[in-house]
């Protein structure tokens, strides 16, 4: 069975985000094909996609390498997120379906329960699923793709501290959901803008192009298993 290129792309991207493929490291088709148990053809296609997304660069005499974004580029991602996430929430208030609301309510209910219990191990994943579902509810494939790409890149470039007040953090998710459920786009936009802005100081760069210490951001081998891939 031929493994689709998008599955290989997801696997390579996930490993870049996790640091398996280090910044600046070479990505040779032969080694990647062996690692993921595929031929070189889907690897080549995946590398082209990842280059378009900004995770990979092609260098003379070296070929494909993991990109090395600058601190300015990393900061731009957070600024872009502060613009796009509120837009997505406003559109979700107008375009969400009952199925979206059902999933969002389940995530908020579970997140609030775990936050009250002090079991924070799953809270980051739940928060990611909430934002991903909200982006899908916006009913705009292009916007959803941009937000998904932003989340991947932010996870790659930043360590994100857990919120100091998880109960309050999930109360914010609940308020956003209420606005979306009522179809109040303006309120959903405003609440999401505040939610995202408050999260910025908790982001700490994984790298420092000046050499050494990372800084907290101030306000502005495995085979491909298609059954287990998220996308």
pLDDT in tens, 94-137: 999 999 999 999 999 999 999 998 866 688 889 999 999 999 99
Cα Dmax for the chain? 57
For 41-69, what is the mean pLDDT?
94
pLDDT at 209: 56
Sign of CA dihedral 130, 69, 209, 27: positive
pLDDT in tens, 35-53: 999 999 999 999 999 999 9
For 55-80, what is the mean pLDDT?
94
The end-to-end CA distance of the chain, in Å, is 18
Beta bridge partners, 160, equal 203
Rounded Cα distance, 87 and 179, in Å? 13
pLDDT at 2: 59
Q: What is the DSSP letter of 37?
A: T
Sign of CA dihedral 91, 105, 116, 128: negative
Position 34 pLDDT exceeds 70: yes
For 142-146, what is the mean pLDDT?
94
CB within 8 A of 186, min separation 6: which ones? 90
Position 173 pLDDT exceeds 80: yes
For 48-66, what is the mean pLDDT?
94
- Average pLDDT of the chain is 88
Walk me through the domains of the chain, giving residue ranges and CATH numbers: 5-66 (1.10.10.10), 71-205 (1.20.120.530)
Rounded Cα distance, 94 and 137, in Å? 9
Q: Give strand ranges (E) for the chain.
A: 56-59, 63-66, 158-160, 203-205
pLDDT at 121: 67
């Amino acid at each position: 069975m031929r493994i689709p290129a998008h599955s290989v792309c997801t696997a390579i991207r996930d490993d870049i985000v996790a640091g398996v493929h280090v910044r600046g490291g070479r990505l040779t088709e032969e080694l990647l094909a062996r690692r993921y148990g595929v031929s070189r053809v889907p690897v080549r296609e995946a590398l082209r996609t990842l280059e378009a997304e900004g995770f990979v660069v092609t260098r003379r005499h070296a070929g494909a390498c993991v990109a090395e974004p600058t601190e300015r580029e990393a900061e731009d991602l957070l600024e872009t997120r502060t613009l796009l996430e509120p837009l997505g929430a406003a559109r979700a208030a107008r375009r969400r379906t009952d199925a979206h609301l059902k999933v969002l309510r389940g995530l908020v209910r579970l997140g609030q329960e775990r936050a009250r219990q002090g079991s924070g191990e799953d809270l980051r994943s739940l928060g990611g699923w909430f934002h991903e579902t909200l982006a899908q509810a916006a009913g705009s494939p292009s916007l959803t793709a941009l937000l998904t790409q932003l989340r991947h890149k932010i996870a790659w470039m930043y360590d994100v501290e857990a919120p100091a007040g998880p109960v309050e953090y999930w109360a914010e998710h609940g308020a956003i959901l209420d606005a979306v459920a009522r179809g109040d786009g303006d309120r959903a936009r405003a609440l999401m803008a505040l939610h995202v802005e408050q999260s910025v100081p908790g982001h700490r760069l994984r790298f420092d192009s000046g050499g050494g210490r990372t800084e907290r951001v101030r306000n502005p081998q495995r085979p491909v298993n298609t059954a287990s891939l998220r996308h």
